[in-house]
Amino acid sequence: MPGHRACEVSPVVLHVPHAGTEVPDWTRPHLLLDDAALAAEIAALTDHRTDAIAAAAAARARVRPVVLVNPVSRFVVDVERFPDEREEMAAVGMAAVYTHGTQGQRIRADDPAHRDALLAAFYAPWAQRMEAVVADRIAATGRCVLLDVHSYATDPLPYELHADGPRPRVCLGTDPGHTPPWLVDAARTAFGDGVALDTPFSGAYVPLSRHGVDARVSALMVEIRRDVPDDDVVPALAALIDAAGA
């Protein structure tokens, strides 16, 4: 495309884990909600249009990044959550496999066998795909910059653990071992006013095999409040991609 430098390889990966709405047929009977209630949960918690935002920003970038969009709903498996006791959202039944929904209601029975089947079918393959992409970026460029693209509700939802905090136009989630100051500065410059760190959400995705052990992987979560227009977000995200890849 015009503007892209085909001879260059970007270290940047746009990770879009929560844009998907697919609920495979074999998983549906295990969800206790009727169709209307499930549709309402998916409408409330899906990061709608983050796939389109990521694609548009990638197309504008000086060097095109890798874009990975998970098509499966987070109500099947949340590929970004820890699968074990490290996940703070387990306190409200929303670890990698949700047992509760946005209102605190029960949405899935405690079924270890089904949980393991879901993790094997969706969590493990996604983790392997992410690991392969990160390894490829490191092999090609010596580093990888993971930009985790999300959106969040303008008003707090009942499940949120930190609902009392500010809800800026753009929340930047950081990881103490993988978010260097230069990356935060680049994001602040790209998005301008209305940016805050780690409120109302915190953290940034890094493949578990590299989390806390591989300094070549940098990561930042970009949480866009859902009332912010795409026309504002796309050029800002493209500018961040350019800065992170420079």
What pLDDT is attached to residue 7?
52
In this prediction, what percent of the chain has a pLDDT beyond 70? 97
Q: Is 0.75 surpassed by the pTM of this model? A: yes
- What strands, in cross-sheet order, belong to the sheet with 66-69? 66-69, 12-16, 144-152, 217-225, 170-173, 195-197
pLDDT score, position 85: 74
Coil, helix or strand for 187? Answer: helix
Mean pLDDT per 10-residue interval, the chain, length 246 residues: 58 98 98 98 96 98 98 97 85 94 96 97 97 98 98 93 91 98 98 96 94 97 97 98 97
What pLDDT is attached to residue 88? Answer: 87
What tokens does 244 get? 């992170």
The pair of structure tokens assigned to 155 is 């008003």
What CATH class does 12-245 carry? alpha beta
CA-closest candidate to residue 218, choices 185, 188, 174, 187:
174
Q: How does pLDDT run across 149-166, given as a tens digit for each residue? A: 999 999 999 999 888 889
